[in-house]
Structure 1
Amino acid sequence: MASFLSALNPVPSFPDYTGPYKVGTVDVEIPVSELVPPSPTPDGAEDLHTVQFRVFFPGVPEPRGKRVTWVPAPQRLHVAAYAQFLGIGSTLASILSFLPRHLHWTTIPAIKNAALLPPPSDSPRSRWPTMIFSHGLGGHRNAYSHLAGSLASYGVVVVCPEHRDSSAPLSLVRDPQNQDSFSVKNTRRVVPYSRIPHAQTHEIWEARNKQLRIRLWELGIIFEAITAIDRGDGSLIKSNLNGNTPERALSQFAGKLDVLDPGRVIFAGHSFGAVTMVQLLKSTYYRGHPSVKAMPSPLLTPTDTSAIAKQITPDNPTILLDMWCFPLLSASTAPLYNLPLPCYTPSPSPSPISRLLAIESAAFFKWSEHLHAKARILSPSPSAVTRRVSQDEFDRRRLSKPHFFYVDGSAHLSQGDFGVLFPSLTTGRLLGADRRALSERVLRLNVRAQLQFLRENGVVVAGTAKADVMADGLGVSGRGEGEAGEWVERDEGILHGGGGEGECVEGDRCSGLGGWGVSF
């Protein structure tokens, strides 16, 4: 407990975003009744009357704009929930939530309800690229704010759902029918965290599948909401139950999000969130595959006319951060496991560009058994009998290799906000400034890799801050273009330099991936 309290003192803070754009944010909660769900309501979601998400976006500079707090309201309940998540008893957690509120004052460097910056005039699509990011266990819609805000500062609209599958420390579901009730307690339902063991049993796998069904159902509805907002659906915009978000803050997105053309949306997630995106992509893309249709209890059955079914193609850029593979190994979802990610679909005119970026923590990379499982999942032949997918397999199917990296010295929590706010939790024996420096470096490398990955996929984003490139010492030897000023327009060294293209650190541990893993 002492270490927990010390981590909250002084007030934890975020570094500024390094992109050329200021960042705005809006908080959204839409009644499910306002939308047509793409699939039937799964078990456990009957009382989830809304979907909730936060949006980070390039904003108009507002010197007097108000920041948002990192801990969602009501803060006391969320702090107590986080304390319990970290293993502190419920009674003591409740007491701690009343102690000096250092964490309560932590703010996200994004302006609440800011005006959306118009897309650049030279942008070929006149729309902002859009990402949907799924959180892991213990996360919520604010838990990856530094990563999401950093991408927004370079020109990406990032939608961060809050899953109500009991994976968040606490989530509050507003009741659309009782918003005029005098008692606040009557207007919301509490969804607490459910602590599920990690044992490899049928019961545990089914518990995770139950969570995944809720998550995928939510993502399908959220994407329906996003496309409706882009269409300027006034009725849906007015239905937002978050009274702190004015209608103009949502209506300004009409016609500005690159979400309508198939294959344009970026799908990303961390840990269980990365698993969520794998199952969303496969369940949607292979919805007509005989083995998937034969599943007794599918994770998602989207209709062909749903927005999510129209969006997912082999071309969607996919970013998987430290994916926790255990939930993918369930026997009941084996048909999905055995099918490759959509990006590996053979094409008569294949693209040489990789649609898949996976970034590991050093902790997960050194977990040999888990790495082998991940190698299969990220390969074009997950069900292959051999341990290693050969170069011939890629050449024969004319497929591009995935980008696969890990960040030296990083922990599983390093890619979320915990790494910056509480570096003592993710940096081992390092002290003081060294902890903070490593935590910021991990996220900086993640952002650089994701930006360059998006550029190579034809997504228009701003040039990476030259200071960030120089700080890491990767890709500064002529691999980037436009380096004369403050920005590096093509930061190629982050994906194709550093450890040497094609070189695998501890190559025997990369079996199944063909040896493309490099450390930053």
Structure 2
Amino acid sequence: MTWLHQLNPTPAFPPYTGRYKVGTVDVEIPVAELDSPSPAPSSASDLSTVAFRIFYPCHPDSQQRNVRWIPSPQREYVGAYARFLGANGAFSQFFSLIPQILYYVSIPAHQNAHVLEPQTSNRRWPVMIFSHGLGGSRNAYSHIVGSLASHGMVVIAPDHRDGSSPISFVHTPGEKEELKRVEYKKIAHKASTEVYESRDEQLRIRLWELGLIHDALLKIDERVALSNVAEDHKKHGGLTMFAHKLNVHEPGSISFAGHSFGAASMVQFIKSIYYRPDSQEPGYKPLFTPSSSSPLVRQVTPTTPVILLDLWTLPIQSPATAWLRNHPMPCYDSPTTGGSNLLSILSDAFFKWKANLEETKHIVAKPAGADPNQPGPHLFYPIASAHLSQSDFGVLFPWLTTKVFGAKEPERVLKLNVRAILQVLRNGGVEVADTSIRDMELDEEDAASRKVLHDERILSRKKDSVRGWVSLTTEPEPEPEADLTREKGPVDAVVEGEVLGETVQESQR
């Protein structure tokens, strides 16, 4: 395959475009040191820690080395990704060449750099928690979360141990430290009783982890001593540099975001916190039951910003959580806020997956009978983008995503996502830095003439306001034109190891 010979010897990330340099810290905290808002699921009995990576604005003179994109142990991770992606056809050749190169790919964030003093009016950095999708990890969305950090946010990227990552590891502290492997769980993508039950069990772990991470953030900001057993942090200082610098205590202050299964996780997380039945609802089997006295319950309000990237809706359709599904997103409890702080961005592939698109609209839409003047959600998709385009894979391996998925301009697609996220946050009162004139695709003279302060164009519903950036409504889509008559589905749109091989083969026919 001649296109493989065009491979850049070492794939690299483009620089972040915000005003701040970005630091990063790998974190793994023993569960025993945290207070869970909800009882631990039985399937998490052997998960003794919760893990996440923090991306944050750091001092401009920081010179610490960048962090490796493939975590340690690298050989284990590369092998797991090869198995996950289905190393056959194009990918078998890809993985015969790439493993040694992957070891040297680094995230352009300074490892364990000292956090910058907050530049906001309340002297605290705004915080976002970003949940990864199937096949993801705490590092797999480094460019989008690092870009947000470069604009003045502290972004928390969990490493979910629910079997959704190609592989993950649990460091168990003790006299003789043990390393527990959590392997990828192969679960079908078509609806069935067994699939719903399996995805529900994964969500129980994910929501429990998110609750623990929220508690960890409160303790970190309050300067509570916590152990950090992450491999690359053992020889460095603790987490005390973040003390009193995180805006995590005020209700509605934390933003919640995710991609694919991570977006589904955030929908279930937000709703499970906000809607808690007074009595047992017939047929409802809650996945997460935070105590009414938990600070987490006070955190989620109608003003909470929620960002859903390529929402994968199958897990939300489980019969066990139908009661929750029938409730609107909490933002609609406010007549003024409405969907103004709710952003859903689809890839071109997910837009063409009709069943998932219609369910996404159902989830983010205003409830029936809502005030017609109440704002609805922001709903967009960038043309010629793939499911991978919102992760690091698209920007690291553009030739691969173009050849296999037909995606174009991966770096620009990520910038469009970041622009929209930042503007939704600004409109909600979150203090983030201005988007650069270059990212807004304006020259300085044009920007000056328009007196551009923010990036309102990116949220405009006008056609062609931004090239290749399409605004959608929550109304049903018209029947597609002839070239789109074959409805997209999981084989085309969801990036899973067990179906990726079929996608590759189809693209090569």
Question: Among residues 414, 429, 448, which one is paired with 1:458 in the alignment?
Answer: 429
> Secondary structure in 2 aligned to 1:53?
strand
1:259 deviates by 0.4
Question: Among residues 136, 140, 145, which one is paired with 1:143 in the alignment?
Answer: 140
Question: Among residues 440, 463, 471, which one is paired with 2:411 in the alignment?
Answer: 440
Counterpart position of 1:319: 307
Whether the 8 Å contact between 1:264 and 1:316 is mirrored in structure 2 is yes
Identity over the aligned pairs, expressed in percent?
47
> Secondary structure in 2 aligned to 1:216?
helix
Counterpart position of 1:492: 456
**Aligned ranges for residues 84-99 of structure 1 at < 5 Å?**
84-88=83-87
Q: CA 1:126–1:295 in 2, change beyond 3 Å: closer, same or farther?
A: farther
Q: Give the whole-Å Cα distance in 2 for the aligned partners of 1:51 and 1:295.
A: 31
Alignment size in residue pairs: 472
Q: CA 1:332–1:101 in 2, change beyond 3 Å: closer, same or farther?
A: same
2:415 matches 1:427: no
Counterpart position of 1:363: 349
* Aligned partner letter, 1:364: F
Q: Give the whole-Å Cα distance in 1 for the aligned partners of 2:6 and 2:295.
A: 43
Counterpart position of 2:495: none
Counterpart position of 1:170: 167
Question: Among residues 181, 196, 210, which one is paired with 1:190 in the alignment?
Answer: 181
Q: Give the whole-Å Cα distance in 2 for the aligned partners of 1:76 and 1:4.
A: 26
Whether the 8 Å contact between 1:129 and 1:155 is mirrored in structure 2 is yes
Q: CA 1:7–1:311 in 2, change beyond 3 Å: closer, same or farther?
A: farther
Q: Give the whole-Å Cα distance in 1 for the aligned partners of 2:208 and 2:283.
A: 17
Q: CA 1:314–1:148 in 2, change beyond 3 Å: closer, same or farther?
A: same
Whether the 8 Å contact between 2:347 and 2:387 is mirrored in structure 1 is yes
2:390 matches 1:415: yes
Q: Give the whole-Å Cα distance in 1 for the aligned partners of 2:410 and 2:463.
A: 20
> Secondary structure in 2 aligned to 1:14?
coil
Q: CA 1:441–1:507 in 2, change beyond 3 Å: closer, same or farther?
A: closer
2:53 matches 1:54: yes
Counterpart position of 2:274: 285
Q: Give the whole-Å Cα distance in 2 for the aligned partners of 1:38 and 1:320.
A: 23
* Aligned partner letter, 2:130: F
Q: CA 1:18–1:373 in 2, change beyond 3 Å: closer, same or farther?
A: same
Counterpart position of 2:488: none
Q: Give the whole-Å Cα distance in 2 for the aligned partners of 1:379 and 1:513.
A: 14
Q: Deviations over 1:323-358 (max 9, x none)?
A: 0111111111101110001101145xx237701011
2:345 matches 1:337: no
* Aligned partner letter, 2:349: A
Counterpart position of 1:372: 358
> Secondary structure in 1 aligned to 2:438?
helix
> Secondary structure in 2 aligned to 1:418?
helix
Q: CA 1:249–1:149 in 2, change beyond 3 Å: closer, same or farther?
A: farther
Q: Deviations over 1:72-124 (max 9, x none)?
A: 101000000000001138xx99x96897610110000000000111111xx22
Output the aligned Cα RMSD: 3.0
> Secondary structure in 2 aligned to 1:168?
coil
Q: Give the whole-Å Cα distance in 1 for the aligned partners of 2:405 and 2:137.
A: 28
Whether the 8 Å contact between 2:10 and 2:104 is mirrored in structure 1 is yes
Q: Give the whole-Å Cα distance in 2 for the aligned partners of 1:48 and 1:60.
A: 34
Whether the 8 Å contact between 1:57 and 1:158 is mirrored in structure 2 is yes
TM-score for the superposition, normalised by structure 1: 0.84
Q: Give the whole-Å Cα distance in 1 for the aligned partners of 2:127 and 2:189.
A: 33
> Secondary structure in 2 aligned to 1:129?
strand
Larger RCO (CA within 8 A; separation ≥ 6): 2
Q: Give the whole-Å Cα distance in 1 for the aligned partners of 2:286 and 2:379.
A: 29
Question: Among residues 182, 190, 195, which one is paired with 1:204 in the alignment?
Answer: 195
> Secondary structure in 2 aligned to 1:76?
helix
Q: Give the whole-Å Cα distance in 2 for the aligned partners of 1:321 and 1:453.
A: 14
> Secondary structure in 2 aligned to 1:469?
coil
**Aligned ranges for residues 203-352 of structure 1 at < 5 Å?**
203-234=194-225, 236=226, 238-242=227-231, 244=233, 248=237, 250-288=239-277, 290=279, 294-347=282-335, 350-351=336-337
Whether the 8 Å contact between 1:62 and 1:114 is mirrored in structure 2 is no
2:33 matches 1:34: yes
Whether the 8 Å contact between 1:269 and 1:277 is mirrored in structure 2 is yes
1:307 deviates by 2.8
Q: Give the whole-Å Cα distance in 1 for the aligned partners of 2:62 and 2:473.
A: 50
Whether the 8 Å contact between 2:148 and 2:418 is mirrored in structure 1 is yes
* Aligned partner letter, 1:160: A
2:371 matches 1:395: yes
> Secondary structure in 1 aligned to 2:258?
strand
Q: CA 1:505–1:438 in 2, change beyond 3 Å: closer, same or farther?
A: closer
Q: Give the whole-Å Cα distance in 2 for the aligned partners of 1:267 and 1:494.
A: 20
Whether the 8 Å contact between 1:80 and 1:97 is mirrored in structure 2 is no
Q: CA 1:296–1:200 in 2, change beyond 3 Å: closer, same or farther?
A: same
> Secondary structure in 2 aligned to 1:133?
strand
Whether the 8 Å contact between 2:284 and 2:323 is mirrored in structure 1 is no
Whether the 8 Å contact between 2:394 and 2:401 is mirrored in structure 1 is yes
TM-score for the superposition, normalised by structure 2: 0.86
Q: CA 1:39–1:280 in 2, change beyond 3 Å: closer, same or farther?
A: same
Q: Give the whole-Å Cα distance in 1 for the aligned partners of 2:148 and 2:39.
A: 33
